[in-house]
Structures are given as C-alpha cells and as structure tokens.
C-alpha cells in the first residue's frame, strides 16, 4: 500500500451516498417481484393524426408487458372488460373496438390483479372520439324504396285503377354535434302517384312524421311531432305537431319547457309547424323540479299551464264531436315523493280548468276543479321470503273531478267522478296477483236536476309463469320440456251501478251491471308457440235504458318461426253474443293465416288469408267473406352502401263476400299487379 495514509481511505461524500443507495436498491431488488411493472409507465398512445375516430384502434404501451403477465391485467373500455380481444403487437396492446365507438368521451382503464391478490389500477384515461376535426358527430343518410306498379288484371272493382302507378317511402336522418351543442333531424317522406292516398290529398310527395331538435348545454328546442308535456290531470298523451323550447333535462334539478302545438294532429305538407291557426292551437308551459336532493327522485314537484282553442275531433286519425271552436285554459300542480328506500310513495295533484262548452254561444266558460291523491306502500320490494324474491304493494287512491271539469289538453278525458279505490299487487316465484276495489259517484257538483249514480268495480287477476326446467341432451344441448314454457292467466271484473238519487226519469235502485271472466294459457317453445283463451261476459239492464246480453269468445293461436325462414301464424276466433231481450244469438267466426316462405335465397313468397262469418239465429243476418292476398318476390340484387337494390314481385288480392239475406249485395273482386322496387340504404 503506497502512501496517502488516512487520505487514501477518504472518499467524497457523494460517493458514499451512491454506494448506500446502490446497496439499498440491491436489497429492494431482492424483495420486489422479479418481473414487476412500474405503475406509472403505462401510456395510451396518441392517435396518429391527433384525431380518434369511431373505428380507430387504441394503443396502450405497458413496459415490461409479456405473455406471462398478460393474464394479470384487465382492460376495460367504458367499464366493459375487453381483455379477451386485445392483441399484443411489438410490446403495444392493440384494441380494435368490435363495434365503432359512439362519438363523445370514453374511458379506458388498466387494472392489475397482483399475485398477492390485490387489484391495482395501473392507469385510467379519458379520450374523445370524433367524426372529424370539425364535428364530434356528423352523420346522415336516407333509407328508402321506390316502386313502379303495373296493373296485370282486375275484376269486380267499381273503378278500374290506373294501368301504371308508383309509390315509395324514405326515412331521412342526420346528426351534427360538437362541443356542448347537438342538432338532429329525422323525417319520413312518402310518395304515391294517386294524390288521394297522401295525407294532404294532393301532389305526389308528402311528409310523414318529422322532428328537428337542437341542444346546447341545458338549453333545447324542437320542431315537429312531439310530446313536450308530461301526463297529468290536464294532459294525456298530447303528441302533436308544434314547437317547444326549454331548459334542463330529466335528471336536472329544474326542467322548464314552453310549447305551442296544434290542437288536432296533422300530417303531410300542410299546417306548417302546426302553430299558425289560432283556432287550432294549444300553448303552455310545464315545469319540473326536484326541491329535495336527499336522494335521487325523492321528491318531484311539477306544474303545467296551458290554454288554447280546439275546433273538435277533425284531425288526422281521429273521429268524434266536431265544431264549433271551443276555448279552454287549464293549470295543474303535482307533488310526487318517495321515501324509505322508495317503498313509500305519496302523489298529490290539484288542477283547475276553464272551458267554453258552447263555443261561440252566449254562455260564459265553466270553471271547475279536480284533485287526486295516491298513497302506495311496498312492505316487500324484491325481498327474500323463504328463498324467493317477493314483491308486495298496497295502495289507496282518491280522485275527484268536477262535473264541468274539462281540459283542452285531454280531449278523451272523462270528468264528473268521485272515486275511492284500494288495490294491491303481489309477485313471487312466477306468480302475480292483482286485486282492486273501487267505488265512485257522479254528479260531483250536486246539480239538483241530475240523478246520482253509484258505481262499484272489483277486479282480480292471477298470472302464473313457471320457469320450465330445461334438460340437457347427451351433447349438452338444452332442450325445452314437451309442454314448453307455459304462462297461465285468470281475470275477473265485476261492475255494478245503482241509482243513488233519482232524477231524469231514473228511479232509485239497481241500474246496470257487467261482468267479465277471462282464462288464457300459452306455451312457448324454441321455434313455435300456441295459446288458447276463453272469455265469458254479460250485462244486465235494470232500468230499461240499455241492453241485457251475454257474450262468449274463444280464441286459438299458433305461431311458428322455423330456422329455415318459414314463418306461419294461425288465429281462430269464435264469438257468440246473445240478446236476452230479443232472444237472438249473433255468431262471428274469424279465421286468419299468415305464411312467409323463402323458396330460395332470392325468391320469397307470402300469403295472407282471412275468413269471416257473421250470422244471427233469427236469420236476419248471414254474411260470409273470404280474403286472400299475397306476393311472390324475386330479389334481383341486394342493396348495399354502394348501389341500390332491385326486386320484382307479383302482388295479388282476391276478395269475396256473400250475403244470404241480400244476395244483391254479393261481391267478388280480383286484383293482380307487378311491382318493380328499387331500394337504397345509407352508411351511417
């Protein structure tokens, strides 16, 4: 050892620190798993051009990832485990979505199941999928078909149709979205060479249903056919053409919508947006709020106000009382709360209407009120009772609508009711039982010149759908039992009325009564099913103001959907109605059959047949009809994204009616047409 003495053994301080660090790292190296993956090394690689499109693959680099460690990792895309379809390519995990991702934000998550049994999240990424650099969503298309029809032969028709005709239909859709805004539109167009077949009765092209919607943040607007107001005492199924705008969604604390709709529905290129006519328009505003944020949906308060003018039931698809124009106004407030884990529910609603019953007559509008209260309690809500999931619901309802209560937003509504009803529902092990008992009176406003009728309705229904235990064959294939998957049901409804207070010529006592008992059974198999039902009913008239009758109806149905593509449906009905006063039985028999049969890949046949017979025991009626229609269709080529499809078909229809009482009313007609159809579909 040469000189240097103590100095020879003195090292700089940093050299000592490095030695200590290396020593410590060595010790740690002995403790760590031999192939541990550093958790902060996983990286979701950027898209090559910075833009992730719906079908683009996702690339995830996990340093140290090998085939041996692969089984420890779980990769989730939007909380769905996709580990089984991930490929490892050059140290990069490649995930090709099996379905194109929807535009918008997505999450990718990497989780490791360590050998020690821990579940450790190794990475989580949020990324946006866009259609293009300009729009997050951008898609549109037209699906439709056009047919040229040629008359082959007709007979027995009062008017000979045109030798050539055309018809068609198309469905248009489009979406644009980016940032916080989104616009969408859909519309149906229909064409027919005969203007009488179009809604507006003129031209050759007409408009079906359409809706154009726009959203920006919580703001929204819509033009077209829509239902902007929720059902309540003053609004029921009010779907019309019109405009609406509002703020807030269904899950927001506050939701407000203002709307203007056509009072009577319209179809076709007529009526504009539905708000142009003041004598055929309903305007209003609806508000929904969740004032108690204790739990989701714990309490909802809603209010609706509307007013408008209605010309009567002369819209598209409706018939009834028409004219003159009646004006009306209505408002309602409702509160709906649920507590105790949604087992207890209380809903109350108060409303008021003002309606001009005589239109342009001299009487002032009538004002009246309505109120409802509903209380339900679930002692059992999917609770385990003796090893089976069990549900039990008990409820009571009170509903009172004044005699002159009438809302312009509910043209089908029935007022003048004071109802008290109790009901219950029970379900367990495939059994479902429903029972209800209600009593109501009319003449709610206690008008002295009107009688008062008390009505009592009781009902009971039972349904049993046992799960048929499937057996396995030697090859492990599941086989349905010989009796199929059964479903049984029974229902009984009893309705009785009595005159509680005399008036209008009605004397106190029994007034009317009806009862209905129905039984049904159905059995389902893998490819076919059948069912039978029988209904007995009767009505009794005690006041001489109506009819007394009995009715029985039996139905038998059979359906087959074979793997070969053959589809068969048969339906048989027999109804016998007996007029007890006249002593006459009326019998109606109906037999229907539908068959669809693929003869070849490009050739298919369809056939529909219906037989109907109406007769009475006194010989005053004896009418039979027989209808057959069908088509033979040859697909020349299928439609795809690059070219339209083409098919040729022969359609035929035969109808014959015989009237044994009036033979001069007998008819027989035949119609045969050729149809050349072109179809196209868009790539959305």
Partner 1 sequence: MEHVNRDPKETRPAVLTMALVLVLGLAGLFGPTVSEAAVVGVTATPGVRSVPLGRAGNVAMVWNVTRDVSTGGGATVSSASGSFRAGSPTGTLLATVARPLSQTRPPVGVTIFAFRESVLVPSRVIYRAHKLGVDRIYFVRSFDDGVAASTGAVALSITGSGAGSFGVTRLALSFGDGSVIAVAQPDSPLQAVAQITVSGSGLLQAVWEVADAAGTAGTPAFRPLQTVRRYVNGREPLRLESPPLPTRLLGLHLVRLRITQPAADFELPQLRYFVRAESAQAPVAALSLEAPAPDAVLQAETEFAWRAVPETRAYRLEIRALDDDGGRATTGLVVDGRRSAASLSAVTRDHLRAGGRYRWRVLAIDDQGRVVARSDWREIRTP
Which of the residues 569 through 598 are near partner 1 (CB under 8 A)?
571, 573, 575, 577, 588, 590, 592, 594, 596
Out of 181, 546, 582, 618, the residue judged to bind partner 1 by CB under 8 A: 546
> Of the candidates 69, 171, 270, 458, which one interacts with partner 1 according to CB under 8 A?
171
Burial (CB count within 10 angstroms: exposed 0-12, middle 13-18, buried 19+), residue 401 = buried
CB contact at 8 A, 660 and 642: no
- Under rule CB under 8 A, residue 545 binds partner 1: yes
Long-range contacts of range 17-25, CB-CB < 8 Å, 24 or more positions apart? none
Burial 381-395 (b: 16+ CB within 10 A, else e): eeeeeeeeebbbbeb
Round to whole Å and give the CA distance between 251 and 534: 45
* Beta partners for residue 227, in sequence order: none
According to the binding rule CB under 8 A, does residue 352 interact with partner 1? no
Our finding on whether 641 is near partner 1 (CB under 8 A) is yes
Distances (CA, A) of 608 to 204, 386, 425, 554, 560: 29, 50, 41, 22, 15
> Given the complex with partner 1, which of 304 and 326 has the nearer CB atom?
326
Positions in 272-301 near partner 1 (CB under 8 A): none
Question: How many Å apart are CA 248 and CA 215, to the nearest integer?
Answer: 10
For partner 1, which stretch binds (CB under 8 A), given 41-49, 173-181, 252-260, 445-453? 445-453
483: left (phi over 0), alpha (psi -120 to 50) or beta: alpha
Sequential DSSP letters for 534-553 = EEEEEEEESSSSS--EEEEE
Q: Are the C-beta atoms of residues 432 and 442 closer than 8 Å to each other?
A: no
Alpha carbon of 499 to those of 24, 539, 547: distances in Å?
A: 99, 17, 17
Structure tokens at 322: 């028409």
Interface stretch with partner 1, choices 6-14, 130-138, 300-308, 360-368 (CB under 8 A): 360-368
Q: How many residues bind partner 1 (CB under 8 A)?
A: 154
Q: Is 18 helix (H, G, I), strand (E, B) or coil?
A: helix
DSSP-assigned letters across all residues of 152-165 = EEEES-SSPPPSEE
Under the criterion CB under 8 A, does residue 359 sit at the interface with partner 1?
Answer: yes
What are the start-end ranges of the E strands in 564-662?
Answer: 567-579, 584-600, 603-616, 622-637, 645-659
CA 346 to CA 364: how far, in whole Å?
36
Stretch that binds partner 1, among 212-220, 232-240, 252-260, 331-339 (CB under 8 A): 232-240
Please, are residues 443 and 403 in contact by the beta-carbon 8 Å criterion?
A: yes
Does residue 310 bind partner 1 (CB under 8 A)?
A: no
Within 480-539, which residues bind partner 1 (CB under 8 A)?
A: 493, 495, 497, 503-506, 511-512, 514-516, 526, 535, 537-539
Q: Does 602 bind partner 1 (CB under 8 A)?
A: no
What is the pattern of x (binds partner 1, CB under 8 A) and - over residues 78-97? xxxxx-xx-----------x
Q: Which of 16, 63, 161, 203 binds partner 1 (CB under 8 A)?
A: 161
Q: How far apart are CA 299 and CA 337, in angstroms?
A: 4
Q: Does 452 bind partner 1 (CB under 8 A)?
A: yes
Which residues 126-145 are close enough to bind partner 1 by CB under 8 A?
Answer: 143-145
Q: Which of positions 3-62 make contact with partner 1 (CB under 8 A)? A: 55
CB of 637 to partner 1, least distance (A): 11
Instruction: Specify the residue, 47 or 82, whose C-beta has the smaller distance to partner 1.
Output: 82
138 vs 493 by CB, closer to partner 1: 493
CA-to-CA distance for 25 and 18, rounded, in angstroms? 10
The distance of closest approach from Cβ of residue 372 to partner 1 in the complex, given in angstroms and rounded to an integer, is 13
**Residue 345: CB partners within 8 Å, gap ≥ 6?**
336, 337, 338, 339, 374, 375, 376, 377
Residue 681 contacts partner 1 per CB under 8 A: yes
CA distances from 642 to 109, 143, 185 (A): 38, 13, 24
Q: Which is nearer to partner 1, 21 or 324 (CB)?
A: 324
Can you read off the two tokens belonging to residue 571?
Answer: 């339906």
Q: Does 111 bind partner 1 (CB under 8 A)?
A: yes
Shortest separation between residue 337's beta carbon and partner 1, angstroms: 18
Q: Is 251 in the site for partner 1 (CB under 8 A)?
A: no
196 touching partner 1, by CB under 8 A: no
The helix or strand, by DSSP H or E, that contains position 28, with its residue range, turns out to be helix 13-31
Stretch that binds partner 1, among 11-19, 21-29, 152-160, 298-306 (CB under 8 A): 152-160
Residues within window 406-435 making contact with partner 1, judged by CB under 8 A: 406, 411-417
Give the nearer residue to partner 1 in terms of CB position, either 166 or 283: 166
Nearer residue to partner 1 within complex by CB, 258 or 591:
591
Among 245, 373, 610, 622, binds partner 1 (CB under 8 A): 610
E strand or H helix at 7, and its extent?
A: helix 5-9
Task: CB nearer to partner 1: give 18 or 85.
Answer: 85
Is the Cβ–Cβ distance between 246 and 218 less than 8 Å? no
Q: Say if CB 610 and CB 640 are below 8 A apart.
A: no
Nearer to partner 1, 46 or 194 (CB): 194
Comparison of 29 and 481: residue with beta carbon closer to partner 1: 481
Of 60, 108, 136, 168, which lies in the binding site for partner 1, with binding defined by CB under 8 A?
168
Of residues 49, 116, 382, 664, which one binds partner 1 by CB under 8 A? 382
| Shortest Cβ 74–partner 1 spacing (Å) | 5
């Amino acid at each position: 050892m040469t000189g240097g003495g103590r100095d020879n053994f003195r090292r700089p301080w940093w050299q000592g620190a490095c030695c200590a660090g290396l020593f410590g790292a060595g010790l740690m190296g002995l403790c760590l798993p031999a192939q541990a993956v550093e958790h902060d090394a996983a990286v979701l690689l950027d898209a090559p051009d910075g833009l992730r499109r719906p079908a683009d693959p996702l690339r995830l680099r996990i340093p140290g990832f090998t085939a041996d460690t692969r089984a420890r990792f779980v990769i989730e895309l939007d909380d769905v485990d996709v580990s089984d379809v991930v490929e490892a390519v050059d140290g990069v995990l490649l995930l090709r979505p099996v379905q194109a991702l929807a535009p918008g934000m997505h999450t990718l998550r990497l989780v490791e199941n360590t050998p020690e049994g821990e579940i450790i999240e190794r990475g989580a990424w949020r990324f946006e999928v866009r259609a293009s650099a300009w729009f997050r969503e951008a898609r549109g298309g037209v699906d439709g078909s056009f047919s040229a029809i040629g008359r082959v032969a007709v007979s027995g028709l009062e008017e000979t149709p045109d030798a050539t005709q055309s018809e068609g239909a198309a469905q248009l859709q489009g979406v644009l979205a980016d940032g916080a805004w989104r616009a969408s539109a859909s519309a149906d167009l229909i064409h027919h060479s005969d203007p009488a077949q179009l809604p507006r009765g003129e031209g050759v092209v007409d408009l079906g249903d359409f809706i154009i919607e726009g959203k920006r943040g919580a703001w929204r607007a819509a033009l077209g056919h829509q239902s902007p107001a929720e059902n309540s005492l003053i609004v029921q199924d009010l779907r019309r053409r019109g405009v609406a705008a509002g703020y807030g969604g269904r899950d927001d604390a506050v939701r407000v919508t203002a709307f203007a709709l056509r009072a009577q529905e319209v179809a076709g290129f007529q009526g504009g947006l539905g708000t142009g006519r003041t004598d055929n328009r309903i305007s209003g505003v609806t508000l929904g709020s969740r004032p108690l944020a204790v739990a989701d949906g714990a309490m909802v308060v809603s209010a609706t106000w509307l007013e408008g003018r209605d010309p009567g039931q002369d819209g598209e698809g409706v018939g009834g009382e028409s004219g003159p124009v009646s004006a009306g106004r209505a408002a309602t407030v409702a509160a709906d709360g649920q507590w105790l884990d949604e087992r207890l529910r209380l809903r109350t609603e108060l409303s008021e209407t003002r309606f001009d019953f005589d239109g342009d007559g001299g009487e002032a509008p009538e004002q009246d009120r309505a109120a409802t209260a509903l209380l339900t309690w679930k002692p059992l809500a999917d609770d385990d009772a003796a090893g089976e999931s069990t549900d039990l619901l008990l409820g009571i309802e009170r509903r009172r609508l004044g005699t002159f209560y009438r809302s312009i937003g509910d043209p089908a509504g029935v007022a003048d009711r004071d109802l008290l009803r109790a009901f219950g529902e029970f379900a367990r092990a495939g059994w479902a039982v429903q029972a209800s008992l209600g009593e109501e009176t009319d003449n709610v406003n206690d008008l002295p010149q009107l009688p008062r009728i008390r009505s009592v309705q009781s009902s009971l229904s039972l349904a049993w759908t046992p799960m048929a235990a499937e057996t396995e064959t030697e090859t492990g294939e599941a086989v349905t039992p010989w009796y199929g998957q059964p479903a049984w049901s029974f229902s009984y409804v009893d309705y009785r009325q009595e005159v509680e207070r005399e008036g209008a010529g009605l004397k106190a006592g029994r007034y009317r009564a009806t009862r209905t008992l129905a039984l049904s059974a159905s059995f389902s198999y893998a490819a076919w099913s059948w069912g039978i039902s029988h209904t007995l009913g009767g009505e009794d008239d005690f006041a001489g103001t109506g009819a007394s009758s009995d009715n029985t109806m039996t139905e038998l149905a059979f359906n087959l959907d074979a793997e070969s593509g053959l589809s068969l449906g048969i339906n048989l009905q027999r109804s016998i109605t007996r007029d007890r006063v006249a002593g006459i039985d009326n019998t109606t028999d109906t037999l229907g059959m539908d068959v669809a049969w693929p003869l070849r890949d490009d050739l298919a046949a369809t056939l529909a047949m219906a037989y109907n017979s109406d007769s009475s025991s006194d010989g005053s009626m004896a009418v039979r009809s027989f209808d057959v229609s069908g088509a033979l269709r040859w697909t020349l080529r299928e439609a795809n994204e690059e070219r339209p499809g083409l098919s040729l078909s022969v359609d035929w229809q035969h109808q014959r009616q015989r009237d044994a009482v009036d033979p001069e009313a007998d008819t027989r007609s035949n119609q045969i047409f050729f149809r050349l159809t072109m179809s196209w579909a868009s790539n959305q």
